[in-house]
Amino acid sequence: MKGKLLETVEYISKRISMWPEIGLILGSGLGFMADKIENSIEIFYRDIPNFPRSTVPGHEGNLVFGKLAEKNVVALKGRFHLYEGWSAEVIKFVIYVLKKLGVRKLIITNAAGGINKSLKPGDIVLVKDIINFQFRNPLRGINDGEFGPRFPDMSSILDKDWAKRLQEYFDLPEGVYMAVLGPSYETPAEIKAFRKLGADLVGMSTVPEIIAARHCRIDCLVLSCVTNMAAGVLNVPLSHKEVVEVANRVKGKFSEIVLKALEVF
């Protein structure tokens, strides 16, 4: 992987004029944040050697470099999911690319289903912990000690100080995010089981990125936009169209939170 990683980083570095310190991974319907980046330079995923492609509606496929809240950032406008056929190791590769480009902190966003009945569509939740029900780990295989230890500690996966500073401005609900493989939505029986296991939110992403970031010492802040209540909570069918519509509805609130997170990092 090291040779491919160097080739990818070299290609990108020749096309940018600044080195990012913060990365943003933008979930379904949340790619609009990349449009706010000033003095932006965009690089399409398809043009980057060894880089995966985003295939999901609501996920455009490009890296956006520039300034946001006076910070040097890179946004992934479109993420990669295991249900698309990518391996967890491919997602690790993307995180390692960010690390090599200079990223020290990472804001990960996602669209999630609400399991906790106190939540409602449109809520922005600060993720405090994760449950990996994808049963895949991006660190499987030979460990590269350059990036991190063979057995990274996961007892504190998120940057608590960063989260505390953000909470001084927003009284965000906090919750546990459970990742499932997808792409089918969960059944009502599964959601009942997940609730008993302690999950407040459910989605199909984010966890591989957190594990890889934790391994290579990138501090994370994770924000989930509740775009629907999970199966069985309300007597309504689930659809990806609803996910994108709700994400669009909370653009203003979401933008305010992300910009403040950048400001206080």
* Residues assigned a catalytic role: 28, 59, 81, 83-84, 111, 204-205, 228, 240
Q: Is the peptide bond prior to 138 cis by the omega test (within 30 degrees of 0)?
A: no
Q: Is 17 annotated as a binding residue?
A: no
Q: Is 239 annotated as a binding residue?
A: no
Q: Is 111 annotated as a binding residue?
A: yes
Q: Is 79 annotated as a binding residue?
A: yes
CA separation for the pair 246, 47 (Å, rounded):
31
For 140-167, b where at least 16 C-beta lie within 10 A, e where not — what string? eeeebeebbeeebeeeebbbeebbebbe
Q: Is 150 annotated as a binding residue?
A: no
CA distances from 74 to 26, 70, 71, 183, 230 (A): 11, 13, 10, 27, 31
Type of residue found at 177: Y
Neighbours of 115 (CB within 10 A): 27
User: Among candidates 122, 117, 131, which has minimal Cα distance to 198?
Assistant: 131
Q: Is 65 annotated as a binding residue?
A: no
Q: Is 205 annotated as a binding residue?
A: yes
234 DSSP assignment: B
Q: Is 143 annotated as a binding residue?
A: no
Q: Is 155 annotated as a binding residue?
A: no
CA separation for the pair 63, 193 (Å, rounded):
37
CA separation for the pair 146, 69 (Å, rounded):
31
CA separation for the pair 108, 22 (Å, rounded):
11
Q: Which residues are annotated as a binding site for phosphate?
A: 28, 59, 79-81, 111, 205
Q: Which residues are annotated as a binding site?
A: 28, 59, 79-81, 111, 186, 205, 228
Q: Which residues are annotated as a binding site for a purine D-ribonucleoside?
A: 186, 228
